[in-house]
Amino acid sequence: MEPEYIFIPLAIILSIYVLLVVLDILLVAYLTKVVRRISNSINITLSSYYTQIKKTVELLKQNSFEISEDLLAKLEYIEPNSFDVMCSETYYKAKSNLSYLKDSLFSLISSNEEISNSTEFCDIKRNISELLLAYRSLVIKYNTEVVAYNYWIKFLPSRYIHKIFKKKTLDLAS
């Protein structure tokens, strides 16, 4: 075999390798944008959920309903930026507090037939149901994209390039 014929297969293999690396880098960049977009949507959804919980508290206060200091403290603990960083401790605590508040407030309201049958409460209840459904859907999308992202940053031909750029695996949301 002549020497120039050895370089042709090597050039083809090197070209395929470079193509895989470039495609992987482009795919990771795309997945980063998608994950960020979904994360922002989750943030907006949870902030809207928080707003609906605050409306529920206002509804109870308007009807001279006693709300425990514990519930008010949990509401005050949640700050508007609590949902900015996905999968952080603040995020999970705020989400847990929202769930606890919803259950507690709805339990209080169920004992009062006048408030529980009011159109304002029915609207709040419907909005919260829709927000929770949207949240679950967004978490599924987020987790799907995170799994893809984590796979592609560990893909062999370009994993070292991603290490140089300090790309880290992302955590799944719950």
DSSP 35-79: HHHHHHHHHHHHHHHHHHHHHHHHHHHHTT----HHHHHHHHH--
Per-residue model confidence (pLDDT) at position 53: 94
Asked if the model's pLDDT at residue 1 lies above 60, the reply is: no
Q: How far, in Å, CA of 59 to CA of 75, rounded?
A: 15
Domain for residue 174, yes or no?
A: no
Q: How many domains does the chain have?
A: 1
Q: Does residue 172 belong to any structural domain of this protein?
A: no
- Any domain includes 74: yes
pLDDT, average across residues 77-88: 84
pLDDT digits (tens, 9 = 90+) for 52-62: 999 999 999 89
Q: Which two tokens stand for residue 118?
A: 């009011």
Share of the chain above pLDDT 90, in %: 60
pLDDT over 70 at 68, yes or no: yes
Q: What is the pLDDT of residues 138-173, one digit of tens each?
A: 999 999 999 999 999 998 888 888 889 899 999 999
What's this model's pTM, rounded to 2 decimal places?
A: 0.86
Which pLDDT score, from 0 to 100, does residue 6 have? 83
Domain extent for 42: 3-164
Query: Within a domain: residue 169?
Result: no
Task: Classify residue 173: in a domain, yes or no.
Answer: no
